[in-house]
Structure 1
Amino acid sequence: MKELLITMKINLYPVIAVFALISWVQQAEAESSQVETEQKLPAVTVTGERIGSFNSDFVQVGTFRDMAPIDVPQTSNVITREVLDAQATTGIFGALRNTAGVTRSQLSGSTYDNIAIRGILVENRSNYRLNGSLPIINLIDIPMENKERVEALKGASSLYYGFVPPSGIVNLVTKRAGKDPVSNVSLMANMYGGINGHVDLGRRFGSDRQFGARINLLAGREDIGIHNFSGHRALVSGAFDWRITDKFSVKFDVEHYRKEVSEQAAIRAPAAINGVITLPSVPDARLNLAGKWQKYDASATNLLLRADYAISDNWGLLFEIGRAETRRDRNFSQFQNYDLATGNGTLRTFFNRGQHWDNQNIRTEVFGRFPGQIITHEVSLGFTGNERKQNPRTSSMFDTAQNLYDPIDIARHSPTVPFSANRSKITDWGVYISDRILIGSKLQAMLGVRSSFYESTAKTTHYKADRINPSFSLMYKPIPNVSVYASYIEGVEESGQAPSNRANSGEILAPAVSKQKEVGVKALVGQGILLQVAYFDIKRASTSVDTANRFVLNGMAQYSGFELSASGEVTKQLSLIGSALFMDSEQLNKANASTFGKIPDNTPKRTASLFAEYRPDSIPGLALSGGVYYVGRRPVDSANQAFVDDYATLSLGARYMTRVAGKRATIQAVVDNVTNSNYWSTAGNGLLGVGAPVMFKIASRVEF
């Protein structure tokens, strides 16, 4: 208890310091209020989603920027700030579990969330975007505290984003200063002693409110309930904007976050015997096969500058430049070569030091409208340039005895040989044009084409590729709140990089083409519920591990099925967000008999989620919530020699909004994995991960 109190005191220093900043800002506002009231401000029109909604009025990803979801001819999901708050979510998997087809891959999530959508890995260097543009690096937990929303654009997205897998784009939109000032202080703690303090400040300044600033500060102690685990995380971020003239404005985002924690060991699937893998019983969720000293220490800095210029009432120009940088030291361990009956085996630890990833991105685009009485064209013409450098340096490894069911403490070790560099660089640039054609009030067509250049240079490989990729969609709206669409998209993607546990570790595979077809229906019903039903068919290059333990391309894989979702308000008292996936997938690589016709590893046929919040009229301010999250059984390898069982977790929560000393306050309690189930939460790349144990957390927020 004494240690916890000391940690709380240290972690709350940033919170205490910001109280002084809040006081100063409020005093400055009071002194200037008389002057401001004497000035007549110009009328300001504010657009955006409804406050407190589980649904969104627009998306901000790719070429569909600021479009209503019902007009997007592709499956898209938005997790709003209200959903994030209702679930007390602080990580990317916690947000995306509300969308269909999302699973963890390879890692259990104690350090960061490695995610697959529809069985296809969301590439950690290219598929995560900040404010629709900058490719940030998902090798450290991306904090949600400074994000306004999380968007998932499912499927191929190469028209706007270049060489990316057809799993989808995860777009993270930062909080910005609005018309109302924001001064929030929050605390969150869990049953295992984890605690963090968070400050959120937003203001607009100037005679015409032309300056905006949104600051988020976070510091906390990490504990997730597994043994031999400790650490901390922190965030400093700012989102600034300046309306220089009526036609010219700039935005600047900066965020720096760090996480240092003990990394939970991964578990390798046993070797196959006569073509069958026998999996061990699921270990206790609180066990950790790694030592407390086996740390994962990472930090990330993301910078994004954007300028917008209105050429005329119908035409505009934007320019963006950004950089994302991540550094990491890691002691990664995996448990292997074990006896299923006794649990005795070997823990192998890999030392990584000074690992470095650097993404630099530039975009310029001119966009506008050619209005007509019957036909209107909305055109975008742009250029993107992206350079991704990485140096995943590795060193020695060591083996030590360990037991799966009764772990022993692991003695501290240090690297014994010099670190070796494995530098690589990817250059990805392209020119694109898209035309959204509005024909009357009911018919829409979108045409797009991208010409791309790609070059990848690594220690042992060098690839160049030029590619032209088209996209096409047609949409019909019989009534304003219903749309029916069909689309065809070609994408290009990096085929992946061989992971550290393969013989060709670090090798970057040749790029490949993916093709996607989709038809769907979207409708707005009731109080504002968005319903989506889509059938998709994706064909992409397939990877596997050969007999020499090499990660290689070996054919084609097909993913097809139905995806359903609903989000919004059923009544004024009841909100929900739900999803379901029904999918068939198979590998079409005839040259490899062991995997032909089999399901790609870690790919479920079924997933489903449903989260609802009810606010009874009889108790104003009270909100009760519950969520169920289901993931179907998945193969542990591409030969389908074993499957991890399906699982479902239950979450329950309650929050109460009231006033304390005249200030708005919220008190909240949430329990995840209420039944404390043990289950395999992840598979893929020959690794298994155990789901997190029951988690009870409480949170409070005061709005000054």
Structure 2
Amino acid sequence: MGMRDLGRANWARRSNLKHGASALALLFGGIAPVPAAAQLAAADGPQLEEILITADRKKSFSANYVQAGTFRNARQLDTPLTVTVIPREIIEAQQATNLFDAVRNSAGVTMSQVGPSVASNLQARGINFEARSSYRLNGSLPTVNLIDLPLEDKERVEVLKGVAAIYYGFVPPSGIVNMTTKRPTNSPINDLTLFGNNHGTIGGHADMSRRFVDDKVGIRVNAVESGLDYGIDKVDGNRRLYAVAIDVDPFENFHVKLDAEHIHKKVSEVAIIRLPTLTAAQIAARVPLVLPPTPSNSSNLGDKWMYTDADSNNFLAHVDYKFLPNWSVTLEAGESYLNRDRRFPVFQNYNLATGAGTTNVTFTNKGEYRNVNYRAEFAGAFQTWILEHEISFGGTRNVRKQYVPVTNNATNLAQNLYAPIEHAEVVMPAARSITNPQKIDDKGLYVFDRMKYSDWLEMVVGVRRSIYSSVTAATGRYSAAENSPTGGAVIKVLPWLSFYGTYIEGLEEGGVAPLVAANANQTLPPALSTQWEVGIKAEPIDKLLLTLGRFSIDRSASFLNSSNVFVQDGRTTYEGFEFSATGEINAQFSVFATAMILDAKVGNTSDLTLIGKRPENTPRFAASLFAEYRTPWVEGLSLTAGMFHTGGRAVNAANQAYIPGYQTYDIGARYTTDIRGADVTFRFNIENLLDKNYYAATGSSLLATGLPRTAKFSTTFRF
């Protein structure tokens, strides 16, 4: 099947985009009569900058540089998109151990469909991140996010919001979550951290870095072993991480980076609640959908034996060779593999008066997911008349395969919403039938140019040629071969003040039907998404970055329809503002604040009852604030406090009900001292200080609760 499903009208809006690459070639080749060889070899012309994350701001709540996508190595101040960089200082101050712990600091990023105990299933601006393509390691490898991705071996997390097709191919316009690994350091590191919480979690983390062979080889190892207890009834588990990062610099301007991770997590999955179902007559009579009262955050309608048990391995090799002062080549290859046993509990068919209902447990035996990724890129810096260029052109290929067993092995257990019942274990069936394997092949060629005129104007222009195919037994073959353009500009009014504007087009996969859908695991055809954004970025004082952006995204609408079928029907627009203030106000006070106002609505759909409705799980307002005060009266003592707010969200496409907005508060403290020549840091944090009960996520007719109040503590010894 071709791309006719996208609608010819969508593609008609593009004016001769199939000739975009040719136009760019004319632009680069014809603007100045300068001999090519002289430009390539000129040592006194524009130079390619080498930015090392380890050389970015230290001990700061902000960062100078971005590492995600085509804007990698660009200053945040000069990046014409909304990018949230959560540096190591925030991760440590909050004792964050998984992705949601970190990205909750970015306004508009919420949980979707399921709770936070197993994996970080995320949305941004009301748009889902895709578990197999939206989460990147070191700006490149798409890691399979069906298990919590740990942060102990990560230097930072970046959320690049919006359409990111030019560099990453077929991804949703929610954006990209990029995780940058810790690299070997010049000086040795010997860190040991012991950590736990008030519910019974106990664990340890070792971090070691060394250099060898006249400092040409660096190795950094991170290892974590931990039990898991969230303070939720009938939930326990364990996790581990073994990670190694290797840097090899055999000769000048030639760099090799190798990364390997083994991740394991086994934890009881907290039962989620399915929405009640209204009949057609009730809907016609405007009978309201009544949601169950928010359960206690420590209750569980599942059982301890309902485990998700997953193992994941990620490997990435990266080679950079700067063969001229202003030209380099980059080669990358990587693989992400995950296998998972899952016992997925859903509480449904209940009576709100008595609480009596059924927990449906679906068994998935050894589901397998594999991503293989390649990239080759040339990058160069040169001048054409009045413009300085930093151009990159290359190709990527990402092959994603999944083998998910048929989920017809299920059991129904009597359960009660108000008086949970414990059940004896039901053994996972040994049968494993895979009738609908999937293979996605996402290839692309791209060219992207950052142009600079004087010190006050920067322009970006680029295009990607995508060649995509998706093959499944159930839905056949979908394919696409189209161009995705990008254009934008940054105007520097002052060295510390920039205005920007960007327009981007992209293609995204149509989404995968959730397990509760009648067409579970079906992949929908690809679709077009567009985005424009304008904004202001300022650094009025050193190390404090302020941003304000106005964005608009138009994309295909995907949702569960009234027949419980996951469909692609119509368009949805997302328009809003985002604000952030990150960094240091003075020597004692650091802040990380974000806010989002969003107007999202469905339009142009065959179901006229949905037009103008808000997409499910999409808040109108979200905000976060986290601050640290380094006390002048006790050397080494810092105090922290945080607030995280998410507005009310529609539970389904028909907006039949809304889960209430919620707000949680955190407090904490850190004390660093010297004990017999070793630096020792003690940390203590309380999350959800007021022990609020709330629905953390909805979507696909599901409701999931948040976590109870948790006191975290840790001690780090640096020898």
Could you say whether these structures have the same fold, taking a TM-score greater than 0.5 normalized by the shorter chain as the test? yes
Structure 1 residues 362 and 416, CA, compared in 2 at 3 Å: closer, same or farther? closer
Instruction: State the partner residue of 1:474.
Output: 489
* Paired residues for 1:468-547 under 5 Å: 468-547=483-562
* Paired residues for 1:390-539 under 5 Å: 390-393=402-405, 394-415=407-428, 418-421=431-434, 422-461=436-475, 462-539=477-554
Instruction: State the partner residue of 1:578.
Output: 593
1:370 to 2:382 alignment: yes
1:173 to 2:153 alignment: no
Cα distance, 1:50 vs structure 2: 2.2
1-side partners of 2:60 and 2:655: how far apart? 42
Query: What are the superposed Cα offsets for residues 149-175 of structure 1, whole Å, 9 maximum, x if unpaired?
Result: 000100000000000000010000000
Instruction: State the partner residue of 1:159.
Output: 166
2-side partners of 1:555 and 1:113: how far apart? 28
Amino acid at match of 1:341: A
Instruction: State the partner residue of 1:249.
Output: 255
Task: Select the residue among 220, 238, 251 that pairs with 1:232.
Answer: 238
2-side partners of 1:553 and 1:198: how far apart? 45
**Conserved in 2, the CA contact under 8 Å of 1:395 and 1:420?**
no
1:380 to 2:386 alignment: no
Instruction: State the partner residue of 1:211.
Output: 217
Amino acid at match of 2:241: L
1:358 to 2:373 alignment: no
Q: Secondary structure at the match of 1:177?
A: coil
Cα distance, 1:416 vs structure 2: 5.4
Task: Select the residue among 97, 108, 112 that pairs with 2:119.
Answer: 112
Task: Select the residue among 339, 342, 347 that pairs with 1:327.
Answer: 339
**Conserved in 2, the CA contact under 8 Å of 1:589 and 1:595?**
no
Cα distance, 1:371 vs structure 2: 2.9
Instruction: State the partner residue of 2:352.
Output: 340
RMSD: 1.3
Instruction: State the partner residue of 2:62.
Output: 55
1:611 to 2:618 alignment: no
Task: Select the residue among 70, 73, 78 that pairs with 2:77.
Answer: 70
Query: What are the superposed Cα offsets for residues 402-431 of structure 1, whole Å, 9 maximum, x if unpaired?
Result: 011210102211355833213101000000
* Paired residues for 1:277-288 under 5 Å: 277-288=289-300
Query: What are the superposed Cα offsets for residues 426-477 of structure 1, whole Å, 9 maximum, x if unpaired?
Result: 0000000011110111011100000000100112121011110100001100
Cα distance, 1:45 vs structure 2: 10
1-side partners of 2:327 and 2:110: how far apart? 41
Query: What are the superposed Cα offsets for residues 457-512 of structure 1, whole Å, 9 maximum, x if unpaired?
Result: 11212101111010000110011111101110001000101111111112110000
Query: What are the superposed Cα offsets for residues 43-84 of structure 1, whole Å, 9 maximum, x if unpaired?
Result: x99772222000101111111111110111100010000000
1:678 to 2:684 alignment: no
1-side partners of 2:192 and 2:441: how far apart? 42
Q: Secondary structure at the match of 1:111?
A: coil
1-side partners of 2:254 and 2:640: how far apart? 44
Q: Which 4+ runs in 1 deviate beyond 4 A?
A: 44-47
**Conserved in 2, the CA contact under 8 Å of 1:428 and 1:453?**
yes
Amino acid at match of 1:143: P
1-side partners of 2:540 and 2:96: how far apart? 27
1-side partners of 2:257 and 2:647: how far apart? 43
Amino acid at match of 2:260: V
2-side partners of 1:157 and 1:590: how far apart? 25
Cα distance, 1:342 vs structure 2: 1.5
Q: Secondary structure at the match of 1:371?
A: strand
2-side partners of 1:575 and 1:667: how far apart? 19
Q: Secondary structure at the match of 1:83?
A: helix
1:122 to 2:129 alignment: yes
**Conserved in 2, the CA contact under 8 Å of 1:671 and 1:695?**
yes
Amino acid at match of 2:701: G
**Conserved in 2, the CA contact under 8 Å of 1:427 and 1:454?**
yes
Query: What are the superposed Cα offsets for residues 72-114 of structure 1, whole Å, 9 maximum, x if unpaired?
Result: 1100010000000000110101100111111100011111110
**Conserved in 2, the CA contact under 8 Å of 1:601 and 1:635?**
yes
Q: Percent identity?
A: 42
Cα distance, 1:178 vs structure 2: 1.6
Amino acid at match of 1:297: D
Higher mean C-alpha deviation, range 405-414 or range 372-381: 372-381
Amino acid at match of 1:71: D
2-side partners of 1:340 and 1:247: how far apart? 67
**Conserved in 1, the CA contact under 8 Å of 2:348 and 2:360?**
yes
Cα distance, 1:700 vs structure 2: 0.4
2-side partners of 1:566 and 1:343: how far apart? 46
Cα distance, 1:180 vs structure 2: 1.9
Q: Secondary structure at the match of 2:474?
A: coil
Cα distance, 1:546 vs structure 2: 2.6
**Conserved in 2, the CA contact under 8 Å of 1:395 and 1:418?**
no
Cα distance, 1:695 vs structure 2: 0.2
1-side partners of 2:222 and 2:368: how far apart? 25
1:305 to 2:317 alignment: yes
**Conserved in 2, the CA contact under 8 Å of 1:382 and 1:432?**
yes
Amino acid at match of 2:625: L
Q: Secondary structure at the match of 2:654?
A: coil
2-side partners of 1:294 and 1:341: how far apart? 27
Give the number of aligned pairs.
660
1:83 to 2:83 alignment: no
Amino acid at match of 1:418: A
Structure 2 runs not aligned, ≥5 long? 1-49
**Conserved in 2, the CA contact under 8 Å of 1:304 and 1:323?**
yes
Query: What are the superposed Cα offsets for residues 226-272 of structure 1, whole Å, 9 maximum, x if unpaired?
Result: 01111100000000010011021211000001000111111011113
Query: What are the superposed Cα offsets for residues 19-43 of structure 1, whole Å, 9 maximum, x if unpaired?
Result: xxxxxxxxxxxxxxxxxxxxxxxxx
1:599 to 2:614 alignment: yes
* Paired residues for 1:87-102 under 5 Å: 87-102=94-109
1-side partners of 2:297 and 2:354: how far apart? 18
Amino acid at match of 1:406: A
Amino acid at match of 1:610: L
2-side partners of 1:291 and 1:153: how far apart? 37
Q: Secondary structure at the match of 2:66?
A: coil
Output the TM-score relative to the length of structure 2. Answer: 0.91
Amino acid at match of 2:410: M
Amino acid at match of 1:242: V
Query: What are the superposed Cα offsets for residues 279-333 of structure 1, whole Å, 9 maximum, x if unpaired?
Result: 1110111011111111110011000001111110000000000000011000001
Q: Secondary structure at the match of 1:148?
A: strand
2-side partners of 1:50 and 1:437: how far apart? 26
2-side partners of 1:96 and 1:343: how far apart? 35
1-side partners of 2:73 and 2:347: how far apart? 47
